[in-house]
């Protein structure tokens, strides 16, 4: 059997590159994709910290772009050799949730690199990935775009876009994004597509807030000042029209709930692993709405068009580039936020 390199998760902070069987085609709706570029997601860190109830070992990673190596006979509109961006979510298009457009809840699909909890799919921090329902999950990369330009479209860009869209941002609105990590920065970029008057960025790390400032946001460092109080000060005491939660910890959710004006919207896309006390007395008279969403991959084709037409450029996120062989080191750097890291590109 042909072999390949794949990153395997063994337990808390233990990952290593192993030689494993190269995946093979299982169904006529599959494609086999040779990975040309992958990266580490903030949600991979939940696995890395063993916060999720998924028994190791299993292959890890869910963000990638690549080239079609083999194509099932039921997949049309693609050919072997096509460069493709892949949705991190695998979905069938036919089940109850897919028919409602809730692809992330597909009853037959899952998420790459999350073991038995999410469909037992391959990890994408690897040389090859089997893509089920390839017709739906793959999108051709326009010739003029590089892998680096489209790498984030299958997950964090779409998540950031979903955060902004679910916040129902209207022209002239004031938006606060809690989190200037990769997903928060994507949300800050996408919020600006909807024509807000101002976007405020909240984080605790100056180097990330400096990036937010460079993309047009007003930074608040929550390590030095109370973000909700500062936001009230910046909004004539009212609060923001839309607060976006892009971290996934109780403090940032509490910050959003304390910063939104009466009648405003809170849109959360962080992955939470801790419970929080919900401030019902503070919120019950506020007329706010709260949405909690995962990435809505049906927007991938639209986002690729926006990248192609230079309305979105996220290449600044790729602060580090390393061979896949050094993935264990890459996880350390990413986990500890060393060396002003935003995203680490892994090259098989
Ligand atoms: Zn992710
Ligand atoms: Zn489905």
Which ligand number lies closest to the CA of residue 100?
2
Please indicate, yes or no, whether residues 257 and 325 belong to a single structural domain of this protein.
no
**Residue 124 C-alpha from the chain's centroid:** 14
The model carries a pTM of 0.97
Label residue 46 exposed, middle or buried (CB < 10 Å: 0-12, 13-18, 19+): middle
Q: How far apart are CA 201 and CA 41, in angstroms?
A: 20
41 CA distance to ligand 1 centroid (A)?
5
Q: Name residue 271's beta-bridge partners.
A: none
Please indicate, yes or no, whether residues 144 and 10 belong to a single structural domain of this protein.
yes
Q: How far apart are CA 99 and CA 211, in angstroms?
A: 39
Q: Are 304 and 150 in contact (CB under 8 A)?
A: yes
pLDDT one-digit tens code per residue, 264-322: 999 999 999 899 999 999 999 999 999 999 999 999 999 999 999 999 999 999 999 99
Question: What per-residue confidence (pLDDT) applies to 260?
Answer: 98
| Domain ranges, residue 9 | 3-155+296-347
Please indicate, yes or no, whether residues 273 and 144 belong to a single structural domain of this protein.
no
Question: What per-residue confidence (pLDDT) applies to 163?
Answer: 98
Give the percent of the chain with pLDDT over 70.
100
Please indicate, yes or no, whether residues 20 and 134 belong to a single structural domain of this protein.
yes
152 CA distance to ligand 1 centroid (A)?
9
Question: What per-residue confidence (pLDDT) applies to 117?
Answer: 87
- As given in the structure block, the two tokens for residue 262 are 């009466």
**Which CATH number goes with the domain that contains 225?**
3.40.50.720
295 CA distance to ligand 1 centroid (A)?
9
Which ligand number lies closest to the CA of residue 103?
2
pLDDT one-digit tens code per residue, 41-97: 999 999 999 998 889 999 999 999 999 999 999 999 999 999 999 999 999 999 999
Which ligand number lies closest to the CA of residue 95?
2
Please indicate, yes or no, whether residues 150 and 162 belong to a single structural domain of this protein.
no
Mention every residue, 6+ apart, whose C-beta is less than 8 A from residue 229.
none
CB atoms within 10 A of CB 35: 27
- As given in the structure block, the two tokens for residue 122 are 């391959």
Q: Are 319 and 181 in contact (CB under 8 A)?
A: no
Helices 156-166 + 300-308 axis angle, to 10: 100
Please indicate, yes or no, whether residues 286 and 165 belong to a single structural domain of this protein.
yes
Please indicate, yes or no, whether residues 148 and 10 belong to a single structural domain of this protein.
yes
Which ligand number lies closest to the CA of residue 102?
2
- As given in the structure block, the two tokens for residue 333 are 């750097």
Please indicate, yes or no, whether residues 38 and 187 belong to a single structural domain of this protein.
no
Q: Name residue 60's beta-bridge partners.
A: 114
Q: How far apart are CA 159 and CA 342, in angstroms?
A: 16
């Amino acid at each position: 059997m042909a072999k390949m390199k794949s990153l395997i998760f063994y337990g808390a902070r233990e990952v290593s590159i192993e030689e494993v069987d190269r995946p093979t085609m299982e169904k006529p709706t599959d494609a086999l994709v040779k990975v040309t570029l992958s990266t580490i997601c903030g949600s991979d860190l939940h696995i890395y910290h063993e916060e999720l109830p998924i028994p190791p070992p299993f292959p890890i990673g869910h963000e990638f772009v690549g080239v079609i190596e083999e194509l099932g006979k039921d997949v049309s509109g693609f050919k072997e050799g096509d460069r493709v961006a892949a949705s991190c979510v695998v979905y069938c298009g036919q089940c109850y949730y897919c028919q409602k457009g809730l692809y992330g809840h597909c009853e037959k699909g899952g998420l790459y690199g999350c073991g038995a909890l999410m469909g037992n799919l391959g990890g994408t921090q690897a040389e090859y990935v089997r893509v089920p329902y390839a017709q739906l999950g793959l999108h051709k990369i326009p010739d003029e775009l590089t892998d680096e330009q489209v790498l984030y479209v299958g997950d964090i860009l779409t998540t950031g876009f979903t955060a902004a869209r679910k916040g129902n941002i209207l022209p002239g609105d004031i938006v606060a994004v809690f989190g200037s990590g990769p997903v928060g920065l994507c949300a800050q970029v996408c919020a600006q597509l909807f024509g807000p008057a101002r976007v405020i960025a909240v984080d605790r790390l100056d180097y990330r807030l400096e990036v937010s400032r460079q993309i047009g946001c007003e930074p608040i460092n929550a390590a030095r000042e109370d973000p909700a109080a500062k936001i009230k000060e910046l909004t004539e005491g009212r609060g923001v029209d839309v607060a976006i939660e892009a971290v996934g910890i109780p403090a940032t959710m509490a910050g959003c709930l304390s910063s939104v004006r009466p009648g405003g919207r809170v849109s959360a896309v962080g992955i939470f692993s801790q419970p929080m006390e919900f401030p019902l007395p503070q919120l019950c008279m506020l007329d706010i709405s709260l949405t909690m969403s995962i990435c809505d991959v049906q927007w991938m084709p639209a986002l690729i068009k926006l990248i192609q037409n230079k309305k979105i450029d996220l290449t600044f996120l790729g602060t580090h580039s390393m061979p896949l062989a050094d993935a264990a080191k890459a996880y350390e750097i990413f986990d500890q936020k060393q060396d002003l890291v935003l995203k680490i590109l892994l090259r098989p």
